[in-house]
């Protein structure tokens, strides 16, 4: 039997096809790389489009110029001086109404200042330009402003400022802030985690430590949780609407305990709905964390005559805690950004008062962003962008903490 190499006649010249194959390979590699690049560019475009709108040149017109009210800049005036300006420039009725809500003496200096700006100066943004344009095409913009709004002034304006975070909502975008929304979001997260954390960890402990893996009931539960994780968030909203707002309306509106609520569209309902939404994620994460605890630890504990719960409480849970915490933080990041369920459950579109308890009407940061984005005036886009920046910073911090936690504890093990 011949052991000579197979005749080459039937094969084409390998050197030619190799070049072509490499060329084709490089083309495809380019495509794959471009796909990845696309993602990076998309992220950059998104961040840019948001940041671009948070500050820039604005054409602003004041109903009453600050210079007409006082020779010194308004920011430097004392509380008494500001009060006198207020008194002098408001109608008697209006001043009385403001005083009735809360007397001017009891209000802080900052509040009086806000009132002066809001009620007397009444700035109105006629046109706002994105940052990029403000920097690059300044001369053009000045020309345009001179032509269309000769009376107004062109100034550099930041929409994202401390005042933005501390002020409540307002009818005019120049004065609006996200305080109500921030507090609402915080309250929502608190309620949802208070609800979902114990139940989620409890379910994970049961499924990992007590339940028989092979039983059909356990497998159905497992399947069920995986399915729930994939249900669109708006369906959770509908569930929350049907159960918490309507069916349990008496409880969630506070009527059952004598609170004068009129419907179930409260923070409580919204918080519970979000809690349901993050529950499957919490369970899945907690199960993973519990599963990574080595069995030798459990055996050591049982070998000493400990009961099952003693073993879990003193050994399994502490070992699984970092993983569980990371999972909780991820659940919180998810919860902060959810909007659709809140719309369905009935977020209020316009509230100025801070939430006072679980039975208050509510709004949340993403709801504000949604409302403002869909308003026609350009200025609303600006404050939407500012709110988005706040939201993204919050998310970034949360995720960084989660990553730090994960790294720190995986080193220790």
Partner 1 sequence: MSSESNHNYAIEMSSVDFYYGNFRAVKDVSLQVIPRKITAIIGPSGCGKSTVIRTFNRMNDMIPGTRVTGEILFHGKNIYAPDIDPVEIRRMIGMVFQKPNPFPKSIYENIAWGARVNGYRGNMDELVWESLKQAALWDEVKDDLKKSALALSGGQQQRLCIARALAVRPEIILMDEPCSALDPIATLKIEDLMRELSENYTIIIVTHNMQQAARASDYTAFFTMDTDRAGMLVEYGETSQIFTRPRDQRTEDYITGRFG
Partner 2 sequence: MTHTSRRPLTSGKAQVVDYTLALRKKPRIGERAIQAFLFLCGAVSILITVGIAFELGKESWLFFRDPQVNLLEFLTSTTWQPAIGNFGVLPLITATLMTTFFAMLIALPLGLGAAIYLSEYASPRARAVLKPVLEILAGIPTVVYGYFALTFMTPLLRGIFGSETVQIYNTLSAGLVMGIMILPMVSSMSEDALSAVPRSLREAAYGLGATRLETALKIITPAALSGIIAAFIVAVSRAVGETMIVAVAAGSGPNFTFNPFQSAETMTGYIARISGGDAAYDTPDYNSIFAIGLLLFLITLGLNILSRWLVARYREVYE
The beta strand positions in 296-395, using DSSP E, are none
Query: Residue from 314, 352, 353, 408 that binds partner 1 (CB under 8 A)?
Result: 314
Binding at 343: pick from partner 2, partner 1, none (beta carbon under 5-8 Å per type): partner 2
Q: Which is nearer to partner 2, 49 or 356 (CB)?
A: 49
Asked whether position 21 contacts partner 2 by CB under 8 A, the answer is yes
Q: How far is the CB of 306 from partner 1 (least distance, A)?
A: 5
Asked whether position 28 contacts partner 1 by CB under 8 A, the answer is no
Query: Residue from 188, 283, 320, 324 that binds partner 2 (CB under 8 A)?
Result: 283
Residue 129: partners with Cβ closer than 8 Å, 6 or more residues away: 56, 57, 58, 141
**Of residues 151-210, those binding partner 2 (CB under 8 A):** 198-203, 205-207, 210
Asked whether position 321 contacts partner 2 by CB under 8 A, the answer is no
Are the C-beta atoms of 223 and 346 separated by less than 8 Å? no
Closest CA relative to residue 180, chosen from 371, 400, 396: 371
Number of C-beta neighbours around residue 400 at 10 A:
11
Binding at 303: pick from partner 2, partner 1, none (beta carbon under 5-8 Å per type): partner 1
Site track 259-278 with partner 1 (rule: CB under 8 A), x = hit: --------------------
**Of residues 28-57, those binding partner 2 (CB under 8 A):** 28-29, 31-36, 38-40, 42-43, 45-46, 49-50, 53
Asked whether position 251 contacts partner 2 by CB under 8 A, the answer is no
Residue 79: partners with Cβ closer than 8 Å, 6 or more residues away: 109, 112
Closest CA relative to residue 208, chosen from 106, 285, 265, 126: 285
Closest CA relative to residue 275, chosen from 362, 181, 186, 190: 190
**Of residues 356-395, those binding partner 2 (CB under 8 A):** 366, 369-370, 373-374, 381, 384-385, 388, 391-392, 395
Q: Which region, judged by CB under 8 A, interacts with partner 1, from 7-15, 168-176, 247-255, 299-307? A: 299-307
Residue 259: partners with Cβ closer than 8 Å, 6 or more residues away: 253, 359
Q: The sheet that has 55-62: what strands, in order across it?
A: 123-128, 55-62, 153-158
Q: How far is the CB of 59 from partner 2 (least distance, A)?
A: 19
Q: Identify the sign of the CA torsion 124, 129, 134, 139.
A: negative
Asked whether position 302 contacts partner 1 by CB under 8 A, the answer is yes
**Of residues 211-250, those binding partner 1 (CB under 8 A):** 212-214
Asked whether position 410 contacts partner 1 by CB under 8 A, the answer is no
Q: Where are the alpha helices (DSSP H) in 53-178?
A: 66-69, 79-89, 92-101, 109-115, 131-136, 138-148, 162-166
The Cα–Cα gap between 157 and 328 comes to 38
Q: How far is the CB of 207 from partner 1 (least distance, A)?
A: 14
Q: Residue numbers of the site for partner 1 (CB under 8 A)?
A: 212-214, 296-307, 310, 314-315, 319
């Amino acid at each position: 039997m011949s052991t000579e190499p197979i005749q080459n006649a039937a094969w084409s010249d390998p050197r030619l096809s190799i070049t072509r194959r490499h060329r084709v390979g490089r083309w495809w590699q380019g495509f794959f790389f471009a796909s990845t690049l696309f993602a990076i560019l998309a992220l950059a475009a998104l961040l840019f489009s948001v940041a671009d709108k948070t500050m820039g040149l604005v054409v602003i017109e004041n109903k009453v110029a600050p210079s007409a009210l006082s020779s010194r800049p308004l920011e430097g005036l004392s509380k008494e001086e500001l009060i006198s300006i207020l008194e002098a420039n408001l109608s008697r009725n209006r001043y009385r109404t403001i005083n009735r809500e809360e007397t001017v003496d009891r209000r802080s200096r900052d509040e009086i200042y806000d009132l002066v700006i809001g009620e007397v100066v009444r700035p109105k943004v006629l046109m706002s330009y994105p940052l990029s344009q403000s920097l690059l095409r300044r001369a053009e913009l000045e020309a345009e402003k001179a032509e269309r709004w000769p009376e107004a002034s062109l100034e550099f304006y930041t929409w994202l400022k401390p005042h933005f975070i501390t002020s409540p909502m307002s009818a005019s975008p120049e004065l609006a802030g996200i305080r109500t929304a921030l507090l609402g979001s915080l309250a929502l997260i608190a309620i949802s985690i208070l609800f979902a954390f114990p139940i989620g960890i409890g379910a994970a402990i049961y499924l990992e430590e007590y339940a028989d893996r092979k039983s059909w009931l356990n497998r159905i539960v497992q399947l069920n949780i995986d399915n729930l994780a994939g249900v669109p968030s708006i369906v959770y909203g509908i569930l929350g609407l049907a159960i918490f707002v309507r069916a349990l309306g008496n409880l969630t509106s506070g009527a059952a305990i004598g609170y004068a609520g009129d419907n179930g569209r409260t923070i409580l309902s919204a918080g519970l709905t979000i809690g349901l939404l993050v529950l499957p994620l919490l369970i899945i994460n907690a199960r993973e964390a519990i599963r990574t605890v080595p069995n030798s630890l459990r055996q050591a504990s049982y070998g000493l005559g400990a009961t099952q719960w003693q073993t879990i409480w003193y050994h399994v849970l502490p070992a699984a805690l970092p993983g569980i915490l990371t999972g909780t933080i991820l659940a919180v990041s998810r919860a902060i950004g959810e909007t659709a369920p809140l719309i369905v459950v009935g977020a209020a579109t316009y509230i100025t008062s801070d939430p006072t308890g679980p039975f208050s009407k509510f709004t949340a940061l993403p709801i504000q962003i949604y409302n403002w984005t869909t308003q026609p005036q350009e200025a609303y886009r600006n404050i939407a962008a500012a709110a988005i920046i706040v939201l993204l910073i919050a998310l970034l911090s949360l995720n960084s903490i989660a990553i730090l936690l994960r790294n720190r504890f995986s080193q220790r093990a």
